[in-house]
Amino acid sequence: MAAMTRGSSAVFRRLLIQQYRRRCLRVQEVRGHAALRSLPATLDRKLPTCGGSFRMFGRALHMSAARSGAVVQFKLSDIGEGITEVTVKEWYVKEGDKVSQFDSICEVQSDKASVTITSRYDGVITKLYYRADDVALVGKPLVDIETESGSDVTQEEDVVETPAMAREEHTHQEIKGLKIQATPAVRRLAMENNIKLSEVVGSGRDGRILKEDILNFLAKQTGAILPPSPFQEIRTPPPALAVPSPALRPPPAAPQRVFAGKDVTEPIKGFHKAMAKSMTAALSIPHLGLCDQVDLSRLVALRAELKADVQCRGVKLSYMPFFIKATSLCLSHFPILNASLDEGCQNITYKASHNIGVAMDTGLGLLVPTVKNVQLLSILEVAQELNRLQALGTAGQLGTADLSGGTFSLSNIGSIGGTYAKPVILPPEVAIGAVGKVQVLPRFDASGHVIRAHVMNVSWSADHRIVDGATMCRFSNMWREFLHNPASMLLHLK
Ligand code: CO6
């Protein structure tokens, strides 16, 4: 297996060198006498159509510019999106380690994403400039690498601009909402086959994506049959094992800290920083709040009836797909709630797609992946998509595509035992709903008899600059009726 991987790396490297040479020729056509060392930034701006392979090419060019035998000061490149500093989450190398081009050096975390930094050189690591958890600055040295035998320190030129298209590709393959572990060879294989790593569930240790995972993913897409793999493939977990019931769900693993009479101050990093930013922005929105109760007794019975059938198709059916679909049906009647407001409060954009964000409790904290185009999906399809997002969330593999583009959000605080909540709007959206746990409570029926009912609280928050209470209340009434009488949804399904 190791020999196979080494073999593949060698092939990849040869391919890269060929492509680099081809690209150099194209550059010379464009730039005439431009010096090779100054090419990367210029080249990347001039030839954005090569964005798909930008990162690799950039590295190949840097490598050829570096002096053989020199100690190269390897700086942290611009990783886009205006990020100026990152936290070093994990080192994959230590001083004295040998590295090859494209080997992973470390994982850094910005307030938006996690990025694997890979080596541009073959050589030996002679210095790490940071320890794990330190904040590293873009444009400043990250490591020194001795490329052969020399001892001079070369100030390696940093790539400070990334063209839009390259940045997009970089986002697909390298920057993830969460950490994706894969070797450069595997990343390369994914890139060559236009596969987003965020969509592949890794079967290696700690969810690392292996070559076999990419090949299996490809086979599923193309219908090809692969020889049996020595690795067990991880699929979406079967419903019974996927997630324990709310009461049994364990709290997410978090480092336990004992405060023994001493205060501890630590910087806010990564996703917490992103949450601090978006929630501070949310504070500028005047929220209106509206709460109601829904009798879900019929839905509880309906789900019990459908659950086993749906499970046979490998899909877990919880209440959320009904909540999500009902939300979309209501949004068709209240498009103002599926809209966004520009910063100057001058224009409202009504969104065509119902991309419903679902607050998800992951090991890395609260993330909000979106079920896209719910208006076009059946309840079963919503369930399937939610299962996929949940599996990715559990595996720490939600990517930017899944984490962006939301137009309305729902939060299920009941799945972890909460009864009431006051949700905060996720800008640029204009409304959000939060549901509590389904409780068995006494209620009166039409003839005044006390009956057992399955009751759930729901709270809505909306941007009061463009949404009034009456609109929110009518929306909530419609939503409540769809879920109180789920059969009524049938009339509206396409
Ligand atoms: N009541 C009763 N039972 C529930 C509920 C409620 N509200 N929600 C889920 N469940 C049941 C569900 O039907 C499943 O039952 P079985 O099939 O019989 O096992 C079981 O609990 C597990 O459901 P699961 O959580 O796996 O799936 P679900 O589709 O309901 O939820 C999820 C998906 C992504 C929402 C969930 O996994 C999750 O991450 N929940 C936590 C979300 C969170 O962190 N919310 C807080 C956000 S911050 O809201 C906020 C306003 C502030 C306070």
In SS3 terms, the chain reads as CHHHHHHHHHHHHHHHHHHHHHHHHHHHHHHCCCCHHHHHHHHHHHCHHHHHHHHHHHHHHHHHHCCCCCEEEEECCCCCCCCCEEEEEEECCCCCCEECCCCEEEEEECCCCEEEEECCCCEEEEEECCCCCCEEECCCEEEEEECCCCCCEEECCCCCCCCHHHHHHHHHHCCECCCCCECHHHHHHHHHCCCCHHHCCCCCHHHCECHHHHHHHHHHHHCCCCCCCCCCCCCCCCHHHHCCCCCCCCCCCCCCCCCCCCCCCCCCCHHHHHHHHHHHHHCCCCEEEEEEEEECHHHHHHHHHHHHHHHHCCCCCCCHHHHHHHHHHHHHHCHHHHEEECCCCCCEEECCCCCEEECEEECCEEECCEECCHHHCCHHHHHHHHHHHHHHHHCCCCCHHHHCCCCEEEEEHHHHCCCCCCCCCCCCCCEEEEECCCEEEEEECCCCCEEEEEEEEEEEEEECCCCCHHHHHHHHHHHHHHHHCHHHHHHHCC
CA–CA distance, 51 with 190 (Å, rounded to integer):
15
CA 440 to chain centre: 36
On whether the CB atoms of residues 110 and 83 are closer than 8 A, the answer is yes
Closest CA to 78 of 54, 53, 48, 46: 54
CA–CA distance, 468 with 290 (Å, rounded to integer):
11
Q: Whose CA is nearest to atom 12 of ligand 1?
A: 318
Low-confidence spans in the chain with pLDDT less than 70: 1-68, 78-82, 111-114, 148-179, 184-185, 192, 194, 205-206, 216, 218-260
CA–CA distance, 100 with 388 (Å, rounded to integer):
35
Closest CA to 183 of 108, 67, 259, 103: 103
CA–CA distance, 382 with 327 (Å, rounded to integer):
12
Enter the pTM of the model: 0.62
Residue 383 alpha carbon to ligand 1 centre in Å:
13
The per-residue pLDDT for 49 is: 27
Rg (CA), the chain: 26
Report whether residue 246 contacts ligand 1, using a CB cutoff of 6 Å: yes
Q: Whose CA is nearest to atom 44 of ligand 1?
A: 361
- Examine the residue annotation and report whether 402 is marked as an active-site residue of this protein: no
The pLDDT tens digits of the residues spanning 447-477 come to 999 999 999 999 999 999 999 999 999 999 9
Report whether residue 359 contacts ligand 1, using a CB cutoff of 6 Å: yes
Q: Identity (one letter) of the amino acid at 64?
A: S
Q: Among the atoms of ligand 1, which is closest to the Cα of residue 434?
A: 49
On whether the CB atoms of residues 139 and 19 are closer than 8 A, the answer is no
Report whether residue 384 contacts ligand 1, using a CB cutoff of 6 Å: no
The per-residue pLDDT for 113 is: 66
Report whether residue 438 contacts ligand 1, using a CB cutoff of 6 Å: yes
The per-residue pLDDT for 247 is: 47
The per-residue pLDDT for 364 is: 72
Phi/psi at 10 (nearest 5 deg)? Answer: -65, -40
Burial 10-33 (b: 16+ CB within 10 A, else e): eebbeebeeebeebbeebeeeeee
Residue 292 alpha carbon to ligand 1 centre in Å:
19
Question: Exactly one of 122, 292, 464, 484 is catalytic; which is it?
Answer: 464
Residue 416 alpha carbon to ligand 1 centre in Å:
6
- Examine the residue annotation and report whether 62 is marked as an active-site residue of this protein: no
Q: Is the peptide bond before 250 cis (omega within 30 degrees of 0)?
A: no
The pLDDT tens digits of the residues spanning 383-415 come to 999 999 999 998 878 888 898 899 999 999 999
Q: Which residues does 283 contact at the CB level (< 8 Å), separation at least 6?
A: none
Pick from 278, 316, 318 the residue to mutate for probing ligand 1's pocket: most ligand atoms within 8 Å of its CB. Answer: 318
Q: Return the structure tokens found at 50.
A: 């090569």
Report whether residue 237 contacts ligand 1, using a CB cutoff of 6 Å: no
CA–CA distance, 353 with 335 (Å, rounded to integer):
10
Query: Bridge-partner residues for 107, per DSSP?
Result: 90, 116
Report whether residue 416 contacts ligand 1, using a CB cutoff of 6 Å: yes
CA–CA distance, 221 with 226 (Å, rounded to integer):
12
Residue 335 alpha carbon to ligand 1 centre in Å:
26
The per-residue pLDDT for 219 is: 60
The residue assigned the tokens 């240790």 is 205
Q: Could you tell me the end-to-end alpha-carbon distance of the chain, in angstroms, rounded to an integer?
A: 50
Query: Bridge-partner residues for 450, per DSSP?
Result: 444
Q: Return the structure tokens found at 134.
A: 């330190």
